[in-house]
Amino acid sequence: MNKDTGINFLIVGIGALLAGMFYGCFGALQHVYPELNAYFSFQKTRPLHVSLVISWLYLGAIGGIYYYLPNKCGVPLYSQLLAKLHLWIFTITGFVIIGAYFMGIFGGREYWAFPPILAIPIVLSWIMFGYNYVRTIFAVKTPWPVYYWMWGTGILFFLLTFLESYLWMIPYFGDSIVRDMTVQWKSYGSIVGSWNMLIYGTAIFLMEKASEKSGIVELEEAAPAVGHSKIAFLLFFLGFLNLLFGWAHHLYLLPSAGWIRHMGYLISMTELLIIAKLIWQFRANFIAGKNRFHIMPFRFLMAADIWIFINLALALLISVPAIQLYTHGTHITVAHAMGSTIGINTMILLASLFYIVGEREKVPNKGAVANGFWIANISFFIFFVCLTIAGIMKGFGVIEKQQTFHEVKETISPFIQLFAYSGLVMFIGFCMILIPAARTLMSSREPELAEEASAKLEPAQ
C-alpha cells in the first residue's frame, strides 16, 4: 500500500483496466468462436468487461484528483480519512460486484448489471468524495482554475445521474418501456458527460502543469493562464451543456417524444470540437517550440489529440438522425464508444499516469512503454476500422436489404475476426505500458525534487 491515496486509486485502476481488457478480448473471441460460451457465457463476460473498464475511467480520474490537489496544487485534502474510506469502499464493492458476475447474479441494467443494492455503497462513497472535495476546494481563496470547476461538476452530476439511472425501480418509470429506456439513456448520456468532465479537467490540468516545466519560455510564461483562459471556460460550459442536454442522440430511433429525440442534434458534439481546438493549439505551441514527442505524457496527449479528430468525424456523422438510421444498433456505435473511451479518455488518463510515474522514475523514450504505445495505437486503429466497416455493412444489410441477423453475421464475419485479433494485440500493447507504470507506483519511491523531475523531461541525447 502506498501512503498516497491518489496513487492507490491509480494502482487499483490499472488492475481494473488490465482485467477489463482481458474480458474484452475474451468477449471478442466469443463472437468469433461461440462455442467458448459453453465455458464462460457472454452474459458474464460483457458486464465484467464493461464494469471494469468504466471503473478504470473513474479510478484513474479520481486518483489524479486526490494526488494533484495536495501534491501539485498546494491544496491539502480536507480529510485523508474520507479519501481512504472512499478507496476501500470502492475497491471492496468492486470485488463484490465481480464476484456477483462470476456467480451469474445480476438484476441491474446495461453498464450497472450488478444487483441494485450494490449501488448503495457506491453512492455513499461518492458522497464522501464530494464532501471532501467541496471542503478542500472551498478553502482556496484565489480564483479557481477551470479544472476545479470541471472536477466538481463531474462529481456532482455523476451522483445525480447515477441515482437517476435507478428510477426504473419506481413503477411509474419501469412499467413503460418507452419512458424507462428514455430515462435510462438520458442518465447514461449524462454519466458519460460526468466522467468526461473529470477526465477533460485532468487534461487541462496536465497541459498547464506540463507547460510550467516545458523549457520553452513562451509556454512557461503562459502556463499559469491555461486553467483560467477564456477558451478553457468556454470548453467547460460547452462540455457542461453536453452533459446536461447532449444525450438525445441515443434515442433517435426510440418512439419517445419528438422534442426529446431532436434536442441533441445540434448540441451533442460541440464539446469534442472545442477540446480538439484546445489540445491542437497546445500541440502546435509545443511543436513550434521544440518537439516533445519523446516525453511520455505528451505522447499520450498527442495520441488523444489524433483520436479526438478521428472520433469527432465519426461522432458528427452518427449524430445526424438520417445517418443514424443506418448506424444505430450496429458496430459503429461500438467503434464510437471505444474511440471515446480508449482513444480519448484512456490516452488522457495514461498521460496523467505517466506524469506521476515520471516524478518517480525516468520513463525512457525507447523500450517497453514506448513500444507498447505504438503497438496499442496501431492495433487500436485496425480494431476501430474493422468495427466501422462491420457497422456500415450491418446498417445497409438491415435497412436496405432487410437481411436477417444470421445473414448479417455471416457477411461481417471477416471483420469481426480481425477486430478480435487486433484487440488481443492491443491488450499486449497496453500490458507493456501499464505493468511498468504499476511497478513504479507500487514501489515505495517518493517523488523526486522538482529540479530532478524537470531534468528528466529533457530529451534523451
Partner 1 sequence: MSLRSKQWLYVMLCISFLAMSFGVYTSTENVDRGFSVMNEDVRAGKRLFQDYNCVSCHQIFGLGGYMGPDLTNCISSEGGPKRAEMWMRNGFGAMPNFELSDQEITELMAFLAYIDKSGTSPPKEYEINSTGTLDIKHYQDDE
List interacting residues with partner 1 (CB under 8 A). 30-31, 34, 37-38, 41-47, 106-110, 113, 143, 149, 164, 167, 173-179, 181-183, 185-186, 230, 233, 237, 240-241, 244-245, 250, 252-260, 262-263, 265, 320-325, 328-329, 331, 334, 398-399, 404-405
101 close to 48: Cβ distance less than 8 angstroms? yes
Select 183 or 457, whichever has its Cβ closest to partner 1.
Answer: 183
How far is Cα 362 from Cα 374, in angstroms, rounded to an integer? 19
Select 322 or 449, whichever has its Cβ closest to partner 1.
Answer: 322
Select 241 or 382, whichever has its Cβ closest to partner 1.
Answer: 241
Instruction: State the minimum distance, in angstroms, from the CB of residue 113 to partner 1.
Output: 5
Select 63 or 152, whichever has its Cβ closest to partner 1.
Answer: 152
Instruction: State the minimum distance, in angstroms, from the CB of residue 122 to partner 1.
Output: 18
Instruction: State the minimum distance, in angstroms, from the CB of residue 110 to partner 1.
Output: 5
Instruction: State the minimum distance, in angstroms, from the CB of residue 406 to partner 1.
Output: 8
165 close to 188: Cβ distance less than 8 angstroms? yes
Select 251 or 437, whichever has its Cβ closest to partner 1.
Answer: 251
Radius of gyration of the chain (CA): 22
Tell me whether residue 235 is exposed, middle or buried, using C-beta atoms within 10 angstroms of its C-beta: 0 to 12, 13 to 18, 19 or more: buried
Select 48 or 434, whichever has its Cβ closest to partner 1.
Answer: 48
First to last CA, the chain: 36
How far is Cα 448 from Cα 134, in angstroms, rounded to an integer? 29
Select 77 or 232, whichever has its Cβ closest to partner 1.
Answer: 232
Other beta carbons less than 10 A from residue 4's beta carbon: 20
Select 215 or 414, whichever has its Cβ closest to partner 1.
Answer: 414
How far is Cα 424 from Cα 422, in angstroms, rounded to an integer? 5
Select 224 or 329, whichever has its Cβ closest to partner 1.
Answer: 329
The DSSP 8-state label assigned to residue 77 in this structure reads -
Other beta carbons less than 10 A from residue 412's beta carbon: 23
Instruction: State the minimum distance, in angstroms, from the CB of residue 392 to partner 1.
Output: 15
Q: Read off the C-alpha cell for 100.
A: 456477483
97 close to 118: Cβ distance less than 8 angstroms? yes
61 close to 28: Cβ distance less than 8 angstroms? no
Residues near 241 by beta carbon (within 8 Å), at least 6 away in sequence: 267, 270, 271
Instruction: State the minimum distance, in angstroms, from the CB of residue 28 to partner 1.
Output: 11
Select 267 or 357, whichever has its Cβ closest to partner 1.
Answer: 267
Length of the chain: 461
Q: Read off the C-alpha cell for 23.
A: 474480458
Instruction: State the minimum distance, in angstroms, from the CB of residue 117 to partner 1.
Output: 13
**Among candidates 225, 226, 220, 222, which has minimal Cα distance to 207?**
226
Instruction: State the minimum distance, in angstroms, from the CB of residue 333 to partner 1.
Output: 8
How far is Cα 243 from Cα 234, in angstroms, rounded to an integer? 14
Task: Using the structure block, give the residue that is written with the C-alpha cell 522538482.
Answer: 450
342-359: b (≥16 Cβ within 10 Å) or e: bbbbbbbbbbbbbbbbbb
Instruction: State the minimum distance, in angstroms, from the CB of residue 130 to partner 1.
Output: 15
Instruction: State the minimum distance, in angstroms, from the CB of residue 297 to partner 1.
Output: 29
How far is Cα 193 from Cα 271, in angstroms, rounded to an integer? 10
